[in-house]
A and B are shown apart, each in its own frame.
Chain A
Amino acid sequence: MNALRVSGRFGVGMMGLLLASVLFGEVQAADGSASLLATMWKWAPLIGQGFLLNILISVVAMTLGTVAGLGLGLGQMSPIWPLRHAAQIVTQFFRNAPWLVLLFYCILLLPYEMRLGGLVVAMPAWIKATVGLALPVMGNVSEIVRGGVQALPPAQWDSAEALAFNRRQTLWMVILPQAIKPMLPPWMNLYAVLIMATPLVSVVGVEEAMTLTRFALSAENRSELLLPMYLALLIAFFAYCYPIARWTARLERRFAVKL
C-alpha cells in the first residue's frame, strides 16, 4: 500500500515536471512563436491514435503470448520427457532473449505478405512487431504457469488420483482452476511490462505513439518541445499502467491470505 501511495505521488510529481518544463519552454519561446501547450494540443489527437496502437499491440501480443505460453507451460510439466525438455528449452530461450532482438528477427524474417492458396494476406509491420513481442510474453507466461501449478500442494494431485481422475482431468478440473489465482498477479505484472515495452516497436518503423512523437518533433523543429512532449508520453503510459498496478496489488493481497 505504501508503495502505491509513493507511486501516486510520483504521478503527481511527473505532472508537476511537465508543467515546469512547459513553463520553462514558454519563457524560451517568448519570441512570438506558437505556445508550447497549443502546439502539443495540436499534435495530441495524432499521438493519441498512436497510443491506441500501443494498447492494441499490447493486447494482441498478450493474448497470443498467453495462449502459446499456457501450452508451453503445461508442456514443461509433461510426463513425456522429450516434450518436457523441448518445452523447457523453448521457454528458457524466449524468456532470456532481449525483446528488441526478437523484434528485429520478426520484422526481418517474416514476409510482408503471405500467400495462402490464391489469397494474399498482408502482414503490416505492426502485426510482425506484435508477433515479435508475443514471443517473450510466451516464454514468461510459460514460467508463470509452471510456477503456479507447482506451487499447489502435491496432495491435490494425489487426491485427484484417488478419485480416479486421469491426468488430463486432474490438470483441467483440479489443478488449473486453483492455479489461476496465484498466476494472475504475475501475469498482470507481465502485461504492465509489455505495454511499457511497446515503444520498442518504433525502431522497426511502426507508427505508434513514440514514433509519432518523434515525427511531430521533427515537423515542429523546436528543441524546447522535446522534453514536454516526451514527458506527456510518459504520463500517458503511467496513467494507463498505474490502475493496473493498483489492481494487481489488490489481487495479490486477496490471494495471499487464502493459500
Chain B
Amino acid sequence: MLSRIAASLLFLLLTITTALAGVDDIKAIQAKGVLVVGVKADYRPWGFIDPSGAFVGMEIDMANEIAKRLGVRLEMVPVTTANRIEFLRQGRIDLILATMSDTPARRQAATVIDPPYYAGGTNILARKSMNFHRWQDLRGRRVCGLQGAYYNRPVAENWGAIIVAFPGVPEAYIDLLAGNCDAFVQDSSLIASTLVSDSAKWADFEMPMETFGEQAWVMAVSAANRDGTFATFLSRLSVEWHRTGHLIELEKNWGIPPSPFLKTMHEKS
C-alpha cells in the first residue's frame, strides 16, 4: 500500500516536472514516424536474430509494444555493451533496450527509466569438477567475461580473478568448454537460462556462487531528454507491465527461469 502511494506520488511529480519542462520528445518521434531502438542481437533469449535476419527475443517484444503504443514504425539497431550509450548520445537511437544494468555512471550519461524492467545479479558458470563454492576460490584463475561488463572489475579486484574479456557470449562459451577458462562470469539470469536451454551440453556445469550485486536492467533515453514526455511515458509503461504481469508472461514465453525480481515487483504493485 505504502509503495503504491509512493509510486503515485512519483508519477504526480514526474507529470508536474514534465509539464514544467515541456520537452515533448514523443511528438518528435511521432513526427519522424519511426522509433529507433538499440537492441542486443547476441544475447539470447533477450535479443537475438532468426535466420531471416529479423530481431527476436523478450526485449524485442517490449520494443514492438512501445512502438505500437506510440503509433510509429519500429526500427532496431544492434548495439553492444560498449557502444550503446555512445549511439544514444549521437542520436542514432532513441531508446536503449539492450540488457543494460543500472549504474551511477550510466545514470550520468543517459536518462535511465525507473522502474527497472528486469534484474539479474552476477554469478559464474563453471564445471562442477572445479569445486568452486566461494568467490574467493577464483583467485588467480582465468575467468572469461564480456567486454564492457560492469562486474568484471569487482570480480578481478575483490577476488583476484584474471578476467579474459570476449566481445560476445559464443566466443566465451567456446573458451569455457575448451577448458581455457575455469569459469565464465555473467549475469545470473543468462546463466540460468543457458543451463535450462541445453541441459545435455551443460550437464557437467553449475552456477555455484552466491549471486552478488543484484543489478536492475533499465531502459534509457538521451540525457538531454531527462524531463521529456518519452521518459515519463516509458516509466508509466514499465509500471503497467509490472502490474499486469506482462513481463512475467514474456519471461515465461522466452523460456527464462522466473526471476525473483519480477515476482516481487508484481506483488508490490
Contacts and interface: CB of A to CB of B under 8 A. Distances in A.
A31 to B, nearest CB: 5
A49 B49 CA distance: 15
A136 B49 CA distance: 33
Contacts, number: 72
B80 interface: yes
B177 A216 contact: no
B53 A49 contact: yes
Interface string A212-242: 1011111101110010000000000000000
A207 interface: yes
B194 A221 contact: yes
Contact of A219 (B48, B80, B87): B48
A112 interface: yes
B53 A218 contact: no
Chain A interface SS verdict (over half): helix
Nearest to A28: B201
B43 A218 contact: yes
B258 interface: no
For the side of the interface on A, what is the size category?
A: 20 to 34
Interface in B77-111: 77-80, 83, 86-87, 90-92
Given A43-B51, A215-B49, A205 B168 contact: no
B79 A46 contact: no
Interface residues of B, number: 33
A205 B44 contact: no
Contacts of A49: 53
Interface string B112-127: 0000000000000000
A252 B80 CA distance: 44
B157 interface: no
Contacts of A221: 44, 169-170, 173, 194, 197-198
A218 B169 contact: yes
A21 to B, nearest CB: 13
B41 interface: yes
11 contacts: A31-B200, A112-B90, A205-B87, A212-B53, A217-B170, A219-B48, A219-B49, A221-B170, A221-B194, A221-B198, A222-B201
Interface of A: 31, 42-43, 45-46, 49, 108, 111-113, 125, 203-205, 207, 211-212, 214-219, 221-223, 226
